[in-house]
C-alpha cells in the first residue's frame, strides 16, 4: 500500500496542533523535562540538512519523555538579528522587518511540515521588542558590574557581505557564503568578561548532568591553565609581557614572537629597518583565519624584526623578535617566548630560522626534537641559579625571581 504522505501527514499534524498535543502544561504534579535546541537564523535560503539532523534527535527524546509522563517543554525560536538580512534588505529595497517576517514564516512552515513536536505556543523571536528589551536589560546589568567593556579586536571581515564571520565560515581565505575574500580587520566591539568566571565554569561542570566527553570538550575549550606573567624589555625600552605555564624554562628562551596584530608593530614602524617586509607579512596574515594560523602541523613562517630586539630578563642577553602568524592577539598577551628545547612548535620554528636550542630540563635530545619534561622530579640544567633543582622546586623559585 502506498503511503500518501502529502495527505496523511498534514492531516495528523493539523490534529496535533488543534489538540495542543505538544503543549507544555502548567501542571506541577508531573516531573519536568526541558529540551532545548539552538534557535536557527532564518535566512532566505530556508532550512538546511543540519537543522532537522539535530532537531530530530532531541525530538525523539522529547516524545519519549512525554510518553513516560513528563511535562515536556520543547520550544522553538528565531535568532533573527543579522547583517545578512540587512544587506539583503538594502540590496532589494525591502525593510529588514519584512524580510525577517518572511524568512521566519518560511522556516516555520518547513519545520511544521517535518512534524517536529515543538510547543509553538512558546515561540520567541529575538527581533521582538518584548524579547530584546530583556537582553538589553541584562546587558545594562553586566555593564554596571564592569563585565561589559569595549575593546578593539581582530575579526574575520567579509569584503562583500560587510560583516564579521566566525572562523568556521572562512574556508581557504574566502567567505563560505559568498566566496569573497576575507581579511583580518581591527574592529571596536563590546566584549563580555566571561573569563572572570572561567574557574566556576570549569568547577561547576562536576554538578551538571552532561555526558563525560561533553564535559571534557568544555574543559578543553575553556582551557584553564596556571602560570606566570614575565616581563622582557625591548631594546627601545618598551615592556614585553608574556604568559607562561613553565617559567622554570626561562633560561631556555632564545627568541620571542609577536602577533601581526600587536599595536607595538605600528608604533615601531619608524624604528624597524625592514618595515616593508614586516608590513607585507602582516597583510598576508590578515587573509588567514585563526584556525589556519593555529594549525600545529602548518609550515612555520615569520619575519625577524630588524632594529629592535628583546632583552632577556634573567641573562641580560639580547634575543631576536619575530612576527609570526601563529601568535594570536586574542590569546594571552599577543607576545610569546620561544623555548625550542622544550616545546615542539618552538623547536620547529627555531630549526626553520637557525636559532639556538638550549636544553634546560635534563632528559631530552634537542638535536632531534623538542622534549617537554612533565615529571616534577626532572632536574634543571644550563639554568644558572636553578641548576640542580627539580622542576617542582624551580617553578616557585623562578616565580619569586621574576
What local confidence, expressed as pLDDT, does residue 370 receive?
56
**Backbone phi and psi for residue 90, each to the nearest 5 degrees, phi listed first:** -65, -45
What local confidence, expressed as pLDDT, does residue 371 receive?
60
Here the cell at position 167 is: 572562523
Q: Which DSSP helix (H) or strand (E) runs through 398?
A: helix 391-401
- pLDDT band, residue 106 (cuts 50/70/90): very high
Q: Do 374 and 364 touch, CB atoms closer than 8 A?
A: no
CA distance 97 to 258: 45
More confidently predicted of 50 and 354: 354
What local confidence, expressed as pLDDT, does residue 374 receive?
58
Task: Round the average pLDDT of the chain to a whole number and report it.
Answer: 91
With 90 as the cut, is the pLDDT of residue 5 above it?
Answer: no
Tell me the DSSP string of 279-341: HHHHHHHTTS-HHHHH-TTSPP--EE-SS--EE-TTT--EE-EEE-TTS-TTSTTSEEEE-TT
Q: Do 260 and 293 touch, CB atoms closer than 8 A?
A: no
Q: pLDDT of 176-228, one tens digit each?
A: 878 898 888 888 889 999 888 889 999 999 999 889 999 999 998 888 888 89
Amino acid at each position: 500500500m502506498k503511503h500518501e504522505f502529502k495527505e496523511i501527514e498534514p492531516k495528523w499534524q493539523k490534529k496535533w496542533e488543534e489538540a495542543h498535543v505538544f503543549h507544555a502544561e502548567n501542571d506541577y504534579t508531573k516531573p519536568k523535562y526541558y529540551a532545548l535546541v539552538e534557535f536557527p537564523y532564518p535566512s532566505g535560503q530556508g532550512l538546511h540538512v543540519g537543522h532537522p539532523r539535530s532537531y530530530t534527535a532531541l525530538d525523539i527524546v522529547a516524545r519519549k519523555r512525554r510518553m513516560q509522563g513528563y511535562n515536556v517543554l520543547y520550544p522553538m525560536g528565531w535568532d533573527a538579528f543579522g547583517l545578512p538580512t540587512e544587506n539583503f534588505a538594502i540590496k532589494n529595497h525591502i525593510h529588514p522587518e519584512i524580510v525577517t517576517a518572511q524568512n521566519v514564516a518560511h522556516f516555520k512552515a518547513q519545520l511544521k511540515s517535518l512534524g517536529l513536536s515543538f510547543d509553538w505556543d512558546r515561540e520567541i523571536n529575538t527581533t521582538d521588542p518584548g524579547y530584546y528589551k530583556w537582553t538589553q536589560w541584562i546587558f545594562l546589568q553586566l555593564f554596571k558590574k564592569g563585565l561589559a567593556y569595549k575593546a578593539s579586536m581582530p575579526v574575520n571581515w567579509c569584503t562583500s557581505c560587510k560583516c564579521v564571520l566566525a572562523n568556521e565560515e572562512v574556508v581557504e581565505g574566502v567567505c563560505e557564503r559568498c566566496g569573497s575574500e576575507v581579511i583580518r580587520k581591527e574592529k571596536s566591539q563590546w566584549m563580555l568578561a566571561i573569563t572572570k568566571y572561567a574557574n566556576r565554569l570549569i568547577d561547576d561542570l562536576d554538578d551538571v548532568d552532561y555526558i563525560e566527553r561533553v564535559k571534557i570538550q568544555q574543559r578543553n575549550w575553556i582551557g584553564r591553565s596556571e602560570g606566570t606573567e614575565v616581563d622582557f624589555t625591548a631594546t627601545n625600552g618598551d615592556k614585553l609581557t608574556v604568559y607562561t605555564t613553565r617559567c622554570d624554562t626561562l633560561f631556555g628562551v632564545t627568541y620571542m614572537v609577536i602577533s601581526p596584530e600587536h599595536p607595538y608593530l605600528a608604533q615601531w614602524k619608524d624604528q624597524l629597518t625592514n618595515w616593508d617586509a614586516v608590513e607585507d607579512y602582516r597583510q598576508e596574515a590578515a587573509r588567514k583565519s585563526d584556525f589556519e594560523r593555529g594549525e600545529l602541523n602548518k609550515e612555520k613562517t615569520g619575519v625577524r624584526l630588524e632594529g629592535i630586539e628583546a632583552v632577556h630578563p634573567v641573562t641580560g642577553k639580547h634575543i631576536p623578535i619575530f612576527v609570526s602568524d601563529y601568535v594570536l592577539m586574542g590569546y594571552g598577551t599577543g607576545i610569546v617566548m620561544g623555548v625550542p628545547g622544550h616545546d615542539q612548535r618552538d623547536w620547529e620554528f627555531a630549526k626553520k630560522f637557525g636559532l639556538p636550542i638550549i636544553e634546560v630540563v635534563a632528559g631530552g635530545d634537542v638535536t632531534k626534537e623538542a622534549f617537554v619534561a612533565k615529571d616534577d622530579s626532572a632536574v634543571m640544567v644550563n639554568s644558572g641559579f636553578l641548576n640542580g633543582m627539580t622542576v617542582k622546586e624551580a617553578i616557585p623559585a623562578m616565580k619569586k625571581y621574576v
